[in-house]
Amino acid sequence: MIVKTILAAMLAALSLSSNAQTATFKSFSYKGNDTRFNKSIDNSKQFYNPILAGFYPDPSICRVGDTFYLVNSSFSFYPGVPLSTSKDLVNWKPLGHVLDRKSQLPLTHQRISGGIFAPAISYNQKNKTFYMITTNVGAGNFFVKTKDPSKGWSEPIYLPKVNGIDPSFFFDKNGQGYIVHNAPVDGGADYEGQRAIRIFKFDVNGDSIIGNHTQIVRGGTHVQKNPIWIEGPHLFRVGKYYYLMCAEGGTCDWHSEVIFRATNPMGPWIECPNNPILTQRTGLDPKRPDIVTSTGHADIVQSKSGDWWAVFLGCRPYQDDFYNTGRDTYLLPVTWKNGWPEILEKGKAVPTVLSKTDWQKKYNVADVNHMTGNFTYTDNFKDGTLDNRWIFLRNPSDFYKFTDGGLEINAKAVNISQPESPSAIFVRQQHNTFTAETELTFNPSDEHQLAGLVLLQNEEYNFVFGKTMRDGKSVVTLKRSERTNVTVASATLDNSESQQPLRLKVEGDGRYYSFYYAAGNGAWKLLASGVDAVNLSTHQSGGFIGACIGLYATLSNK
């Protein structure tokens, strides 16, 4: 009898220990409610900007037949380089990710704003092949290719001669390939922030660079004295002219897009007299409605109907230069004047609602668009797969599985502040005003074990909101990190509450967030209201991502 009692106690302790290392998330719900999207529009005739809302920066686009393909930067999230498709440039559907294997995307120990910078997608009509070229900050510049983006991409082919960032392909009518990219200035920079654009010829048959680089732009344009950060170059051809379009001025509120042209890709290049062809940096009312700032890093595409369009990044600040949603992707028609393209007239604000052209009106998209506008979704984790919206930080291990109760996450001894891959899966915060909610079952046995939600900007700027132990009792805790961790609030769960599933909810409204919890089917209880979430803004934290919301479990809560 004594042996049976001891065995039962051992099994109970083992069960508790096992449960303590595992958190089961029954569901996750998200709802966006931004004022800018609460307009009455006719979806058959109009569309919203941005076209991809929340942390979809550095867009690059190409068209094959009647289908457009769009890629964005992913930094140290995995899988990498989200790929979206559209028939009308307005309604976009995720087609997965270009880089979906560790062999394509090594991210070990990279900082959150490291990893993949500025991917560029191109199609070579001569050999019927798609190319995606990019920079992995921790591994170098490389490209992958495929005949069919829906069937996966090749292993990476590295380009050690590309010394810099933001490479982009161009394939001429005769099939000749070129690579342009941001680079150090030949002979050294004359001032801080001065960069150059280089060009290489590319051997399509050998998948290799031919010869050495030619510097084709030094410093940038003459819009301002000592222009900085000429980058994100894209080369294309219209008639007898080649055009080189680049971002300039850095990624903050002085961002812009400029353009040059030449009769030969190797130059000489002439600057557009109307540069910049896109910016929101001057001449606008700072209190204008639906403000968009920091526009630039554009790419350009022509539809089958012959009209031209530009995709570019921009930001939606809720106050000053503070925005938690990161950099979105926007769409505007391109106007040609005297042989030069113009994306937006100087002194004109980026519009939130635009009219469709006749050819765009022909596409009747019945599906709910979870890329822009106000929308709601719920993931119940019942079909055994994660939606394309879910991403991981760095290269993940097999820390999760699907069960009858939901998504089971096995906690690791890694926390969100470490340069490792935590037990967490993330979605983007796509609205300034939003609600995120989850329900989880978790039985911690000590203060180091925690499961719940994480709101992430980077390793030092984040929120951790979840269930843990303190002084032998289960508690709900909220920690805010802005270089240092500070416990904002906590609440002790009674014995009945601690045995029930826990619901957690975050309500964000611009700069300030409120946090709620509930045990089982009980009423919501306010843990903390009006908490300053400016630490999730890029302006405050640095870096390049938008805030992400994660389902998170750890054995190393600090």
Q: Give the residue carrying structure tokens 């639906």.
A: 290
Q: pLDDT tens-digit profile of 204-228?
A: 999 999 999 999 999 999 856 899 9
Is 14 contained in some domain? no
User: CATH number of the domain that 525 lies in?
Assistant: 2.60.120.200
Residue 497 in this model has a pLDDT that exceeds 70: yes
User: Taking all residues of the chain, what is their mean pLDDT, rounded to a whole number?
Assistant: 94
* The pLDDT value given to residue 7: 34
Single out the residue of 405, 378, 557 nearest to residue 466, CA to CA: 557
Among 361, 391, 408, the domain boundary falls at 361
Q: pLDDT tens-digit profile of 246-280?
A: 999 998 999 999 999 999 999 999 999 999 999 99
Q: Are residues 284 and 407 in the same domain?
A: no
How far is CA 166 from each of CA 11, 60, 207, 296, rounded to the nearest angstrom? 56, 11, 18, 14
Is 369 contained in some domain? no
User: CATH number of the domain that 194 lies in?
Assistant: 2.115.10.20
How far is CA 432 from each of CA 84, 161, 452, 462, 524, rounded to the nearest angstrom? 23, 42, 21, 16, 22
Q: Are residues 26 and 45 in the same domain?
A: no
Between vectors from CA 353 to CA 349 and to CA 356, what angle results, nearest 5°? 115
Q: Are residues 49 and 83 in the same domain?
A: yes
Q: Are residues 435 and 349 in the same domain?
A: no
Structural domain tally of the chain?
Answer: 2
Q: Are residues 93 and 198 in the same domain?
A: yes
Q: Are 525 and 517 in contact (CB under 8 A)?
A: yes
Q: Are 79 and 99 in contact (CB under 8 A)?
A: yes
Q: Are residues 413 and 327 in the same domain?
A: no
Is 453 contained in some domain? yes
Confidence of residue 110 (pLDDT cuts 50, 70, 90): very high
Confidence of residue 19 (pLDDT cuts 50, 70, 90): very low
Residue 4 in this model has a pLDDT that exceeds 90: no
Say if residue 276 is preceded by a cis peptide, omega within 30 of 0.
yes
Q: Are residues 353 and 490 in the same domain?
A: no
Q: Are residues 393 and 507 in the same domain?
A: yes
Q: Are residues 302 and 380 in the same domain?
A: no
Q: pLDDT tens-digit profile of 64-93?
A: 999 999 999 999 999 999 999 999 999 999
Residue 17 in this model has a pLDDT that exceeds 70: no
Is 176 contained in some domain? yes
Is 367 contained in some domain? no
Q: Are residues 351 and 406 in the same domain?
A: no
Single out the residue of 532, 58, 116, 75 nearest to residue 324, CA to CA: 532
Among 340, 361, 382, the domain boundary falls at 361
Is 102 contained in some domain? yes
Residue 418: which domain range?
22-30+374-554
Query: In degrees rounded to 5, what are phi and psi of residue 16?
Result: -65, -45
User: Active-site residues: which are they?
Assistant: 58, 231
Q: Are 243 and 282 in contact (CB under 8 A)?
A: no
Is 10 contained in some domain? no
Radius of gyration of the chain (CA): 25
Between vectors from CA 107 to CA 21 and to CA 413, what angle results, nearest 5°? 20
* DSSP sequence for 477-535: EEEEEESEEEEEEEEE--HHHHTS-EEEEEEEETTEEEEEEEETTPPPEEEEEEEE-GG
Q: Are residues 440 and 507 in the same domain?
A: yes
Is 13 contained in some domain? no
Q: Are residues 356 and 379 in the same domain?
A: no
* The pLDDT value given to residue 370: 85
